[in-house]
Structure 1
Amino acid sequence: MMGSVDLRATATATPASLASLRHARLALPPVLGWQSQRYTGARLQGVDVDAALGLPGVHRLVQQRHLLAVIADSDAQARQACALLKPRWSTPADDDRALRPRQAHSLYQRGKEEEGLYDLTLEADYQWQDGEATLSSPDVVALAAPSGTGMRIDLPFGNPAAIALEVAGLLALPVAQIEVRSHRAPADAREYRAASDVAGVAALLCQQCGEAVSLALTPAEAPALSTSLHLRGEFDEDGALGNTTLDITQDSPAPPLAWLLTETAYALQDAAAIDGAALAPPYDWRSVHVSAALEASVPVAATCFAQEVFLDEVAQRLGQDPVQYRLAHLPDSHGRDLIRSVAHGARWHPARQQGQRQGGRLRGRGFAYASTIEQHAGQPVQSWSAWVAEVEYDEASGELSVTKVTAGHDVRAAGQAPATSPVLAQANAERLDQQARLALAQSMHGGQGFDAWSSEAGLPSTLPSSLGLPQRTALPTVELVGTPAALQNIQLNAGAAFTLPAAAAISNAVYAATGVRLRQAPFSGEQIRLALNASAPASGAQRWRKYGWLGAAVAAVGATLTLAMPWRSEIAPIARPDPDLYSAATIERGRRVALAGDCAVCHTAPGGATNAGGHALQTPFGTVYSTNITPDEHTGIGNWSYAAFERAMREGIHRDGRHLYPAFPYTAFAKISEADMQSLYAYLMAQPAVASTPPANDLRFPFNLRPLLAGWNTLFHDPQVFQPDPARSDLWNRGAYLVEGAGHCAACHSPRNALGAEKGGRHYLGGGMVDGWEAPALTALSKSPTPWTEEELFAYLRTGFSARHGIAAGPMAPVVAELAQLPPGDVRAIAHYLASFQSGAASSPAAPVPASAAQAPSPAELRSRANGQRLFAGACAACHQEGTGPTLFGVKPSLRVNTNLHSDTPDNLVHVILHGIREPANPALGYMPGFANSFSDAQMVDLLAYLRSEFAAGKPAWQGVEAAIARSRAMPMP
């Protein structure tokens, strides 16, 4: 029933229940319709059963009223059979009982309406549309399998408790016999609806055939749930408000797809009472009447939008300033104080024109206010919010952008006296800032999530041009006005209440700038252009995007149980997908995910084909060789379905059911968003196929027993998708998503426990070892003599060089080479996130510590250092001597700030001296020759002793230098 949505069932049933897994496809009616929970769409009249059942692998046809499905051995067979069904549909005559007009009910009445007492009347219609799905794949996939006397349903996202209740009602089973597992909570209402649709149909088919059924559903396009609001107001020329009426009508929400097509009476519709008082305007209209003809709750944001734009139209018709007009007719003194505070912060002047033209740009400012009562922490909380939005419209390009917002928010327990001190905690201010930006982005054709790929440096919040805004228009600055926070023991709620005025403030600002009234959100420059050309308001064709906040605790439990399985079922192979199936934009996005994840770094053997595998990964338990991830159908992943690919990435399970070793960092890749995961799959399948079989892993007993990894996963793996921290900035969350997810920085830069799992807490990013190289700490635990700043991190990750820290070498060099191909804004986000861990680091290079008599070097140590100094002068000084000589072979890095010189171990420095830097991260850096064939072990010991004492004064001499040299000489180097 939903738009293009992709649900992938990553959790699988036990092997026994999937022994006879069938695949199903649904033949949807050409017209889906409903009214008052009754089906009014096309009706099934007949079907060509023999043609479909005659195909090999087709087992049965399921028909129940207007639900028509084919069940076969494979999805391809089911899809082919569906094409041969040739169902005959007819649209019946209108059902008078279903289509008769719904009767309006009075929801709220205040005062007594007195007609004929007022001079002016204004009527206007407004439209509010619910959000629509944002995923692009046309398929919806779910798995339903018999489980004892009941059934288990696996979904990638959804509300398990609610869906279990729906399925139990549909199948007439006790709800205790229905188990629903999902990978995560739905992101919004339409994801929830999509999961509900596919789960119900899959469950019905499973009950019909008595076997496990995987349903791939291609839903029909359904309109967004729309709320229409008609406002009528009477008022005098002096501004006195008289009678106002608000009439609300709403599309009838459809029941879940299985209930609808089978014409089963849907008895689970939410019949919660609507609070009419919450829908009434806050101003001193003499009488107020709110009525509605609807079957679902009214979004408070819809009524706020309509009422605030309507009052702006009243003020405009009277020629009064909209802020002053509100102040004159708002009985709530606390609300008036907030409005004054925000207007003052925005430098709002009643006598000044709020719109202006500068060249071909039209600028305007608009105001909106909201007051509501919500339930928070089990008690009623009253919330006030006021916004001033500033917009700019470019007449030449037709681009509309919000340039600035001044917003104020206050909250206190309902009935509690207002506070007297203006306090707004900084943490809450940051949270409000984030929520404000999200609301603005949604009002302007949608927001940007943590997994949106930026396009230019320093602007990770840039809105993509596909949303109707200019490509280089950043989200506006948001100024939060310090307002009284009356209830200090209740956390400031930065939810829907704060953002209620957003859409109305933008609409009012657009009118001030252009004279065009936008009565339907979201807004775009195209609406204004059409309105200006036609001298009439544009009808918004886009749909409101509504972000839902739901928990995922139940999904986490289901995922944990799945991870604990010692062996898993095979996912059937497929023919390699045609690369033409994927758009260029999807493939490009996948390429960026692959770059952030450094896929080619680990999956390419020295001298081998890209991503063909064979790279040796040294672990404490033996050697693991990377796999072939090219789309070769025999030695690579060419025969992997997306479901198999996603399971491997999120759960560490091979297509054939084997557990993958966590040297493959699925523990991090699990955090990748669905959109990025699909794009990565598309990118890999679009690359050249290479036939290459990597060597077999060489692991010691018992670490070569893969079933043991089930226990490892239960202990150490969390398969949840990354969730942004609402208390942090967009930039920080974007960096966290890249570092913790695709970038998997902790895989190298965090220490590991005895079982090879990354240590968290204070050890997170605290340094580790990989392939014999030390991955230094990225936090305040860093041994660097100078702290890493955001700018230094950005420069290092983009170029491979920092004048205050050194050059990227070893495994880090190819990582930087990959990161350099990402948009600068994404690298900036990584640097910003990592810089947040630098608190407590040293602020300046460590000063030399004079040696005491007890610390005085022995004669042997002095001779060693002297020999080392001569070696340095002959082989190293030309490139590393500070302050003298020309710069050769690229840059001239200082050893005095090099982290390797200040480390507790000499390994990295030994590797660089012996093997050099043959392939720098950036060709402009130049290369460094290796001296493995020039220096003996004794000379290496002398050189290292000199370098440590000269460039890391105050650090103790390294221990175990000879062993480090032996290890390095034994290591295979490219």
Structure 2
Amino acid sequence: MQHETAATAAAGRLLHARLILPPALSWDGSRYCGARLQRIDTAAALQTNGVRQVLAMKHLVAVIADSDALARSTRHLVRISWSKSDDMQSAVRTHGGTKLFARGVSASSSNDTTQLDAVYQWQAPKADKHASDAATLVVLAAPAGDGMRIDLPFGNPRSIAQELSSLLGLELDKIDVRSHRTPADARESADASHAAGVVALLCRQCRAPLSLVMATDAGVAQTTVFQLRAGFGPDGALGHYAQQFDHRTAPPPLAWLLTETPYALSDAGAAPPSSLAPPYDWAGVEIAGTAGADLPLAAATFAQEAFFDEAAGKNGEDSVQYRLDHLPDAHGVQLIRSVTQAAGWLPRAPERARAGQILRGRGFAYASTIEQDAAQPVQSWSAWVADVEYDRASGELSITKVTAGHDMRPAAAAAAADVPALDAGQAHLLGEQVQLAMASTLVPGNSFDAWARDHQLVPSDAVHSAQLPAVEVVASPPAPYLKDVQLKAGGAFTLPAAAAIANAIHDATGVRLRSAPFSGEQVRLALAADEKPRGWRRFKKYGWLGGAAAALGATLTLAMPWRPAIAPIQRPDSNLYSAATIERGRLVALAGDCAVCHTAPNGGTVNAGGHALQTPFGTIYSTNITPDEKTGIGNWSYAAFERAMREGVHRDGRNLYPAFPYTAFAKISEADMQSLYAYLMAQPAVAARPPENELRFPFNLRPLLSGWNLLFHKAEVYQPDPARSALWNRGAYLVEGAGHCTACHSPRNALGAEKGGREYLTGGMVDGWEAPALTARSKSPNPWTENELFTYLRTGFSSKHGIAAGPMAPVVAELSQLPAGDVRAIAHYLASFNEAAEQSQAAPAPTPLSAPVMNEGLLLSQANGKRLFQGACAACHQEGTGPTLFGVRPSLRVNTNVHSDTPDNLIHVILHGIREPANPDLGYMPGFANSFNDAQMSDLLTYLRSSFAPDKPAWNGLDASIARSREQTSH
């Protein structure tokens, strides 16, 4: 509000802007090549009351309105035609580059008889955002005389002023840039530059104070395109090698990009051109590219090493031996031999038959570079062997094993003529098996699955092409001459990762992926293209029919009465996963309350199954999810685990009952799913077989669940709402996904499917307990605010609502272990469904009902109930002053259970107590099942209802409810 007041005072009424971005933003290293504005129709938007302008500057389009909500909501009324993006891979051929490095013979003087050409592309990931970061930022601009003032939440005022001076053609002293704080990292610096440039252009056009709400990380990902060409002699000898690339450290800020304005400020310093040269003994090497570009070595290594693999295949050579034959660095040769020997590398024919459902392959890659460490140049060597599996049926692409080696020494020592052979202390090998999970479907820039405690030990920019999670490096102590150099999982160590994985994929499938990042979907499409029937071209005009058939096939997959089994595997070693990955999986398991349902009551072993779930169709017992190979999931591959979690299909092909909430777990991101698998596989194995389910006919027929899935299940990962904040999206992801809150807190239809729409989170029944509504339809006398929800979910108690009991107590016990930011996100999301709570922190005084006719029986019942309350309950629940005897002193006047339409929860708590509270500090409550008979329970309930919820009608059917509760053991 301070910003708005200042801007309004400066020059009249404040307007609000929202951008309409092109569907594709691309930058080829020197020019904008994304979608371009062709036609725009603004009539419908401008007819909306309060919309002032629709500005279009080249490809930059924005709606200007009297309020931000109006600007945001009317963007869809602007009709725009965009052109397609340019061909990125053609850019390197058309734009050329500056010659940066050359050695050996030239292309014209070489004796090459054969030639190999390839184009590789590397797209760097956008920086991940923490869950607590806002998904949008608000910036303001206002005319100030013949200049302009810009207000930012963060940013470097001087550098942004210099950028705006160039963009607007104003003198530097005419631009006043103010920010609340300096940027926390490079991502925030980029966000500030994007927003400042856009708001400045819009303000200049409007000539009025302007507020812009803009998504963070709205720019273009850095992309590098490589054109590689190599010649070979008649005997396969290496001839001339040419590498040409187009790259810029980063595209210009959004305002310059979309208006195609030349960006005058220079980029950062360039990497030494010699570091881009391949390490092999090519007869001649020539490198050309964007002058002054700070090319990432990981990108160059990916292109060079994957290309060298192609060269080995073209010449009919084993890829490792081909490198050894052409690597003049004796130290590198020793490292390659050590790593491949540890991995058990066996030469394989470049072209081989690939049959069966599971395709397996392995790939190799190598890198050597000079890096600055410990104030001195250090030469670093790294070699990777990666093993992958591809499942034709599921399309799952996974990395099953990595053997990697790394060595460093001062550059001066490395240049010595006599290089000693590597010993065990010098070649720092990772364990023979390092389990990695490939999260290839993650969308860069989304933060809804970021965990506060999660950390990466391997920089994502080094291995992003496979989206690898953290690898924890365990190495022997450095050799004596490396006493000042610390071995680390970063820098040169990770350079070969992407190429090794790409080469392994090619070995497994025959598909050469030349664009990173890559995924299993790319492999599936490439294999499908190779397997088209010969008559395909003849039927191409009926492509729409094939598309419809494919869509129908994908839909009917869930409707199949049986699914093929996924082959069992040997139980993965518990040491195969990094500590960071296991910790992330632990947090996912806590959010999903896995142990709550998969642990039998009264001392059952954690996650060994056996907990009885009461449903309207019978009793279902939870399964053993420990890594026991016979009774648990120890022989499940990740593909089998993911299919169960997303589609509700057992490893052996049976349908799972939706009491297991795969309908929610399907929304979990790939990275979280893989981390959860790693965590469960790293836990102790327990041999335990749960009882058989007890379901009535026909609900005991599993094939019927295929039809249920077709009607009620969509196996789709959560997609964030761009109109909402990152905190809201994080909360939605946790509530709708791993937290599966709707499984209890949404009503279900006659077939057991959750109701959505207006019924979403409006309450349900589980195990005989009422899960109250979490929306404005809550029966609580006090509305749930974000702060009250946060306190309740963190501690199990809210002074305005009561204490967590029944099935909710163990859920809170799990949630309380999550990072506070994640619990805050859940509270923030749930509070958005109760607007009244945000507007009023205090509940209005209840309106008493008309006094009922008090017959003698009712008066006696209330009198008996009051005596029971005074004798058994008042010590802990009496309102007013008095000592707190056990933990907290909950008031029954604000308790949701007392105000509910049904007495079930209150009866359960009185009879069975709270033996295991969510938080030990709350104190436990004893059960009175053996102290009160049914008549006394009825009298006590009548008194509690009339005294603490006087505006509510008396409960009916108390005797039946009490009888049901006595038959049920406590949760």
Q: TM-score, structure 1 length as denominator?
A: 0.51
5+ residue gaps, structure 1 = 1-124, 131-192, 194-223, 231-245, 252-262, 270-293, 302-335, 356-362, 373-385, 445-494, 512-516, 524-528
Q: Would the alpha carbon gap of residues 917 and 946 (structure 1) be closer, same or farther in structure 2, given more than 3 Å must change?
A: same
Distance 2:779 2:693 in 1: 34
1:617 match: secondary structure: strand
After the TM superposition, which residues 81-230 of structure 1 pair with which residues of structure 2 at under 5 Å, given as runs? none
CA contact (8 A) 1:128 1:521 kept: no
Distance 1:341 1:662 in 2: 66
Distance 2:643 2:375 in 1: 52
Q: Would the alpha carbon gap of residues 603 and 296 (structure 1) be closer, same or farther in structure 2, given more than 3 Å must change?
A: closer
Match of 1:956 in 2: 953
1:346 match: secondary structure: strand
Match of 1:601 in 2: 596
Match of 1:679 in 2: 675
Match of 1:799 in 2: 795
1:634 aligns with 2:630: yes
Match of 2:850 in 1: 852
1:756 aligns with 2:752: yes
Match of 1:891 in 2: 888
Distance 2:147 2:605 in 1: 61
Match of 2:764 in 1: 768
Q: Would the alpha carbon gap of residues 388 and 366 (structure 1) be closer, same or farther in structure 2, given more than 3 Å must change?
A: farther
Q: Would the alpha carbon gap of residues 816 and 399 (structure 1) be closer, same or farther in structure 2, given more than 3 Å must change?
A: same
1:873 to 870, 873, 891: 870
Match of 2:810 in 1: 814
Q: Would the alpha carbon gap of residues 387 and 953 (structure 1) be closer, same or farther in structure 2, given more than 3 Å must change?
A: same
1:617 aligns with 2:613: yes
1:912 aligns with 2:909: yes
CA contact (8 A) 1:366 1:509 kept: no
Q: Would the alpha carbon gap of residues 548 and 860 (structure 1) be closer, same or farther in structure 2, given more than 3 Å must change?
A: farther
1:777 aligns with 2:796: no
Shift of 1:560: 2.3
1:937 aligns with 2:733: no
CA contact (8 A) 2:618 2:695 kept: yes
Distance 2:788 2:296 in 1: 40
AA of the residue aligned to 2:192: V
Moved more, 336-345 or 819-828: 336-345
Match of 1:367 in 2: 163
Match of 2:149 in 1: 344
Match of 2:585 in 1: 590
1:774 match: secondary structure: strand
CA contact (8 A) 2:797 2:804 kept: yes
Q: Would the alpha carbon gap of residues 857 and 846 (structure 1) be closer, same or farther in structure 2, given more than 3 Å must change?
A: farther
Match of 1:566 in 2: 561
AA of the residue aligned to 2:641: F
5+ residue gaps, structure 2 = 1-27, 34-86, 101-113, 127-140, 169-175, 224-252, 270-290, 298-370, 378-459, 466-515, 526-546
CA contact (8 A) 2:191 2:218 kept: no
Shift of 1:812: 0.5
The CA deviation string for residues 115-146 of structure 1, in whole angstroms up to 9 with x for no partner, is: xxxxxxxxxx989999xxxxxxxxxxxxxxxx
CA contact (8 A) 1:443 1:544 kept: no
Distance 1:742 1:694 in 2: 23
Shift of 1:973: 2.1
Shift of 1:747: 0.3
Distance 2:566 2:657 in 1: 19
1:405 aligns with 2:192: yes
Match of 2:661 in 1: 665
Q: TM-score, structure 2 length as denominator?
A: 0.51
Match of 1:737 in 2: 733
CA contact (8 A) 1:366 1:390 kept: no
AA of the residue aligned to 2:149: H
Shift of 1:949: 1.1
1:788 aligns with 2:784: yes
1:691 aligns with 2:682: no
Distance 1:614 1:297 in 2: 49
Distance 1:298 1:591 in 2: 31
Q: Would the alpha carbon gap of residues 731 and 567 (structure 1) be closer, same or farther in structure 2, given more than 3 Å must change?
A: same
The CA deviation string for residues 894-924 of structure 1, in whole angstroms up to 9 with x for no partner, is: 1111111111111111100111000000001
Q: State how many pairs are aligned.
A: 572
Shift of 1:789: 0.9
The CA deviation string for residues 743-766 of structure 1, in whole angstroms up to 9 with x for no partner, is: 000000000000000000010111
Distance 1:800 1:504 in 2: 58
Distance 1:747 1:599 in 2: 13
2:677 match: secondary structure: helix
CA contact (8 A) 2:648 2:655 kept: yes
Shift of 1:345: 2.1
Shift of 1:340: 9.6
Distance 2:786 2:262 in 1: 38
Q: Would the alpha carbon gap of residues 417 and 797 (structure 1) be closer, same or farther in structure 2, given more than 3 Å must change?
A: closer
Match of 2:272 in 1: none
Distance 2:615 2:963 in 1: 18
2:731 match: secondary structure: helix
1:972 aligns with 2:969: yes
Shift of 1:862: 2.0
Distance 2:694 2:951 in 1: 42
Distance 1:670 1:824 in 2: 25
Q: Would the alpha carbon gap of residues 342 and 894 (structure 1) be closer, same or farther in structure 2, given more than 3 Å must change?
A: farther
Match of 2:532 in 1: none
CA contact (8 A) 1:391 1:510 kept: no
Q: Would the alpha carbon gap of residues 532 and 389 (structure 1) be closer, same or farther in structure 2, given more than 3 Å must change?
A: farther
1:717 aligns with 2:713: yes
AA of the residue aligned to 1:580: N
1:344 match: secondary structure: strand
2:620 match: secondary structure: strand
Q: Would the alpha carbon gap of residues 295 and 644 (structure 1) be closer, same or farther in structure 2, given more than 3 Å must change?
A: closer
Q: Would the alpha carbon gap of residues 297 and 806 (structure 1) be closer, same or farther in structure 2, given more than 3 Å must change?
A: closer
Distance 2:880 2:188 in 1: 51
Shift of 1:504: 11
Shift of 1:797: 0.6
Percent identity between matched residues is: 62
2:586 match: secondary structure: helix
1:577 aligns with 2:572: yes
2:703 match: secondary structure: helix
The CA deviation string for residues 590-629 of structure 1, in whole angstroms up to 9 with x for no partner, is: 1111010000000000121110000000000000000000
CA contact (8 A) 1:586 1:679 kept: yes
1:724 match: secondary structure: coil
Shift of 1:409: 7.3
2:192 match: secondary structure: strand
Q: Would the alpha carbon gap of residues 879 and 709 (structure 1) be closer, same or farther in structure 2, given more than 3 Å must change?
A: same
CA contact (8 A) 1:367 1:504 kept: no
Shift of 1:848: 3.8
CA contact (8 A) 1:628 1:692 kept: yes
1:964 match: secondary structure: helix
AA of the residue aligned to 2:926: P
Shift of 1:866: 1.5
AA of the residue aligned to 1:585: A
Distance 1:905 1:439 in 2: 53
1:700 aligns with 2:496: no
2:163 match: secondary structure: strand
CA contact (8 A) 2:599 2:607 kept: yes
CA contact (8 A) 1:605 1:614 kept: yes
After the TM superposition, which residues 296-311 of structure 1 pair with which residues of structure 2 at under 5 Å, given as runs? none
